[in-house]
A and B are shown apart, each in its own frame.
Chain A
Amino acid sequence: MAKLIKNGKVVDDNWQVLPADATEVPAGPVIVPLALWKSAAAELADRGELGVWLAPDEDPAEIAPALSGLDVVAVAFPKFADGRGYSTAALLRTRYGYQGELRAIGDVLRDQFFYLTRCGFDALQPQEARYTSEQLEAALASLGDFSEPYQGAVDRAEPVWRRHARGGVPA
Chain B
Amino acid sequence: MYRYDAFDQRIVDERVAQFSDQTNRYLAGELNEDEYRPLRLQNGLYIQKQAPMLRVAVPYGLMSADQLRRIARLARDYDKGYVHFSTRQNIQFNWPALENVPKILAELAEVEMHAIQTSGNCIRNFTSDPYAGVAGDEAIDPRPWAEILRQWATFHPEFAYLPRKFKMAVNGAAEDRAVILCHDIGLDLVRNEAGETGFRVLVGGGLGRTPIIGKEISAFVPWQDIITYCEAILRVYNRFGRRDNMYKARIKILVQSLGIEAFREQVEAEWAHSRGGPSTLTEAEVARVSGHFVDPSYAALPAEDAGHRQALADNKAFAAWAKRNVRAHKQPGYASVVLSLKKTGVAPGDISSDQLDLVADWADRFSFGEVRSTHEQNLVLADVRQSDLFAVWQAARDAGLATPNIGLLTDMICCPGGDFCNLANAKSIPVAEAIQQRFDDLDYLHDIGDIEINISGCMNACGHHHVGHIGILGVDKNGQEWYQVTIGGAQGNTASLGKVIGPSFARAEMPDVIARIIEIYIEERHADERFIDTARRIGIEPFKTRVYADREVKKKVVNG
Chain A residues close to B by CB (< 8 Å): 80-84, 86-88, 90, 94-95, 109, 111-112, 114-116, 118-119, 135, 142, 145-153, 157-162, 164, 166-170
Can you list 6 contacts pairing A with B, beta carbon distance less than 8 Å?
A: A84-B243, A86-B159, A150-B155, A151-B227, A160-B151, A169-B292
Q: Report whether A86 and B157 are in contact in the complex, using a CB–CB cutoff of 8 Å.
A: yes
Q: List residues of B (34-54) whose CB comes within 8 Å of A's CBs.
A: 35, 38-39
Q: Report whether B3 and A168 are in contact in the complex, using a CB–CB cutoff of 8 Å.
A: yes
Bound form: Cα–Cα A118–B235 in Å = 15
**Is B422 part of the contact surface with A, judged by Cβ < 8 Å?**
no
Q: Which chain B residues border A82 with CB–CB below 8 Å?
A: 161, 243
Q: Report whether B278 and A149 are in contact in the complex, using a CB–CB cutoff of 8 Å.
A: no
Complex A-B, nearest 8 residue pairs according to Cβ-Cβ distance, in ascending order: A83-B161, A118-B157, A169-B291, A168-B5, A115-B157, A161-B285, A150-B151, A158-B278
**Is B121 part of the contact surface with A, judged by Cβ < 8 Å?**
yes
Q: A115-B160, A118-B158, A147-B14 are in contact. List 10 more A-B contacts (CB 8 A).
A: A81-B38, A82-B243, A86-B158, A116-B157, A146-B11, A150-B154, A151-B155, A153-B158, A160-B151, A161-B284
Bound form: Cα–Cα A112–B160 in Å = 9
Bound form: Cα–Cα A121–B316 in Å = 68
Residue-wise, chain B 50-72 has the 8 Å CB interface mask toward A (1 for contact) of 00000000000000000000000
**Is B537 part of the contact surface with A, judged by Cβ < 8 Å?**
no
Q: Report whether A119 and B152 are in contact in the complex, using a CB–CB cutoff of 8 Å.
A: no
Closest to A144 in B: B14
**Interface SS of chain B:** helix
Tally of contact residues, B, Cβ under 8 A: 45
Checking A81, A112, A135 against B121 with a beta-carbon cut-off of 8 angstroms, the contacting residue is: A81
Known contacts A160-B7, A167-B5; A80/B161 CB under 8 A? yes
Q: Report whether B10 and A152 are in contact in the complex, using a CB–CB cutoff of 8 Å.
A: no
Residue-wise, chain B 153-187 has the 8 Å CB interface mask toward A (1 for contact) of 11111111110000000000000000000000000
Q: Which chain B residues border A84 with CB–CB below 8 Å?
A: 238-239, 243
Q: Report whether B152 and A159 are in contact in the complex, using a CB–CB cutoff of 8 Å.
A: yes
Closest to B158 in A: A86
Q: Which chain B residues border A86 with CB–CB below 8 Å?
A: 157-161, 238
Q: Which chain B residues border A161 with CB–CB below 8 Å?
A: 282, 284-285, 288
Q: List residues of B (272-300) whose CB comes within 8 Å of A's CBs.
A: 273, 277-279, 282, 284-285, 287-288, 291-292
